[in-house]
Amino acid sequence: MAIRTPEQYIASLKDNRVVYCQGERVKDVTRHPLLKITMDWMAMDFVLQNDSRFQDLVTVKSENGERFSFVFQPHKSVEDLLRLREVVKLWARVCFGKPSGAKFTGKDGLSAITVVAPRVDKKYGTNYAEHVENYRKYLQKTDATLALCMTDVKGDRSLRPSQQKAHKDYYVRIVEERESGIVVRGAKAHISMAPLANEIIVLPCRAMLEDDKDYAVCFGIQANAEGLTFISAEPEIKEPGNFFDYPLSASVYINDATLIFEDVFIPNERIFLKREWPYAGQIAHMFGNFHRLSAETYKAVELELLTGAATLIAEFNGIDKVAHVKEKLSWLIQYAEATEIMGRAACEHPVSEQDSDLVYPNPMYANIAKLFFAEHWHQATKYLQDIAGGIVATAPSAKDYFNPELQGMIEKYLGGREGVPTEHRLRLVKLIRDLTSSYEDVLTLHAEGSPAAQILSIYKLGDFDRYKSAARRAARIENGSEHPIFSQLPQFPPNLGV
């Protein structure tokens, strides 16, 4: 089949999957007014794949001349990573800052197991790399939408998986092993777009110790697998179709669902890790490297939008020449552009996997970029809200604006600077509200890894030998263990005999 049309994608969703939304079992996910928002958003991937202007960017041709999604291909060069970045930016620009989820998270899971599976095979003599490659071919051929399922529900965060007290299923685990495969049980949370995906890659979400080995499991699964239940996240959307009042939330419903695995069977060829516990953490971290890159890539696009919203509302309100407003706009620009710089640097300076032709994004840079935008997001929303004014909280609704009894009054009074249509100002104000919602805050902080995870990663990745050598040399502390950069430097101050 190779690349699909949006219609083909939609048709593929009628497969009896078990999806709940707002307390109801959804018979046909393609007909549900809220889930349709997710579906339409995901369908944009197929729109772009079939659009001649973008096709050469987002797809590649296989040896047999069939096109398939570029993101299903292994990454082997800086150019591959930079192209990946361009793809994600296109997705994000099309969809108001939120990249179409068709393959967005899934691709990073696929990339992660592509790198790690050969490591496991090398150590244990398993053949997971082959499983991964077969799975990749299947994805390429079916042009599947691919979700990624990582974060376990976790129960008591102070305890490891095997230490949990209320029950042992807070992390997905192997409960039975059969000749043909395994049976898993547990639940995962925040699984973006999963209810509208075809395939789902399931990864462990943390490093494990030997006691936790039943939890060291990784596999691919179809959305209609028996025993799998999706509970949709409560939607942010107040009123589907109202793009005036809810320009973002009525356009994108990511649907970070909770997935319940009630004794789901996974056939052997779909398994990519099975109790090789030392590699659970490696998969999680490798996924992090790729997904943090994805995060900073789309975030740079979202910040472009946020900066634009701040600039426009400053103009609409007539305060764009006010000194503190210009400073805040300058801050927003550097925030957006620095996110761009640092995300791109993770591509431009990747790491080459040993004994392999694969590369992955620079982990230090990917973590720094993610932390950078997450740590400063609330500052950005504060600045945006500050410039926009109280109207973000108090504006009337579209229904008021379009009521002929009121429209004249609203036109007259809620305008800003002369020449700016009141409708434009109101639409912008609503965009700003959507952009600064609690949902956006939490997404920015926690999606693609919480700040605490990046802080720890950066600490672990620090080049301490280099740092300490620099300090010891300046302090004249000799301990005989200089970093090579410093050991070769000439004496300073010099002894010039003057």
Site residues for its own copies, 209-238, by CB under 8 A, read 229, 231-234, 238
Q: Among residues 210, 213, 229, which one has the least CA distance to residue 221?
A: 229
Q: Which is nearer to its own copies, 265 or 331 (CB)?
A: 331
Contact by Cβ (8 Å): 48, 54: yes
CA 158 vs CA 164, 212, 455: distances in Å: 9, 15, 18
Q: Give me the least distance between CB of 403 and its own copies, in Å please.
A: 4
Tell me the residue length of the chain. 498
Contacting its own copies within 88-107 (CB under 8 A):
93-97
Residue 122 neighbours by CB under 8 Å, 6+ apart: none
Check binding of 308 to its own copies (CB under 8 A).
Answer: yes
Helical ranges in 67-155 per DSSP H: 78-94, 106-124, 128-142
Residues 417-456 that bind its own copies (CB under 8 A): 417-418, 424, 427-428, 430-434, 436-439, 441-443, 445-447, 450-452, 455-456
CB of 147 to its own copies, least distance (A): 14
CB 246 within 8 A of CB 237: yes
Core vs surface per residue 123-162: b (16+ CB within 10 A) or e: eeebebbebbeebbeebbebbbbbbbbbbbbbbeeeeebb
Please identify, using beta-carbon distances, which residue of 199 and 304 lies nearer to its own copies. 304
Backbone angles phi, psi at 264, to 5 degrees: -95, 135
Are the C-beta atoms of residues 111 and 133 closer than 8 Å to each other? no
Most distant CA pair in the chain, distance = 92
Cβ nearer to its own copies, comparing 73 with 385: 385
Q: Which of 124, 138, 243, 265 binds its own copies (CB under 8 A)?
A: 243
**Which residues does 492 contact at the CB level (< 8 Å), separation at least 6?**
none
Residues 271-290 that bind its own copies (CB under 8 A): none
Judged by DSSP in three states, 483 sits in coil
Binding-residue pattern over the window 376 to 415 for its own copies, x denoting contact by CB under 8 A: -xxx-xx--xx-xxxxxxxxxxxxxxxx-xx--xx-xxxx
Instruction: Answer for the pair 315, 57: CB distance below 8 angstroms, yes or no.
Output: no
- Complex with its own copies: residue 266 or 447, whichever CB lies closer: 447
Q: Does 371 bind its own copies (CB under 8 A)?
A: yes
State the nearest-atom distance from the C-beta of 215 to its own copies, in Å: 15
Pairing mode of beta strands 181-191, 359-360: unpaired
Smallest separation (angstroms) from its own copies to the CB of 492: 5
Touching its own copies, residues 135-174 (CB under 8 A): 151, 153, 155-159, 165-167, 169-170
Whole-number minimum distance, CB 445 to its own copies, in Å? 6
- Of 173-181, 202-210, 282-290, 372-380, the segment contacting its own copies by CB under 8 A is 372-380
280-317 and 323-348 helices, crossing angle to 10°: 150
- Contact status: 299 vs its own copies (CB under 8 A): no
Q: Could you tell me the smallest distance in angstroms from the CB atom of residue 329 to its own copies? A: 6
The answer to whether 484 contacts its own copies (rule: CB under 8 A) is: no
**d(C-alpha 111, C-alpha 130), whole Å:** 14
Of 162 and 251, the one with the shorter C-beta distance to its own copies is: 251
Minimum separation from the CB atom of position 62 to its own copies (A): 25
Contact pattern from residue 31 through residue 70 relative to its own copies, giving x for each residue in contact according to CB under 8 A and a dash for the rest: x----xx-xxx-xx--xx--x-x-----------------
Nearest to 274 by CA among 208, 359, 353: 208
Q: What is the token pair recorded at 371?
A: 């932390």
8 binds its own copies (CB under 8 A): no
184-203: contacts with its own copies (CB under 8 A): 186-187, 189-190
How many chain residues touch its own copies (CB under 8 A)? 181
Residues 67 to 86 in contact with its own copies, rule: CB under 8 A: none
Least Å distance between CB 175 and its own copies? 14
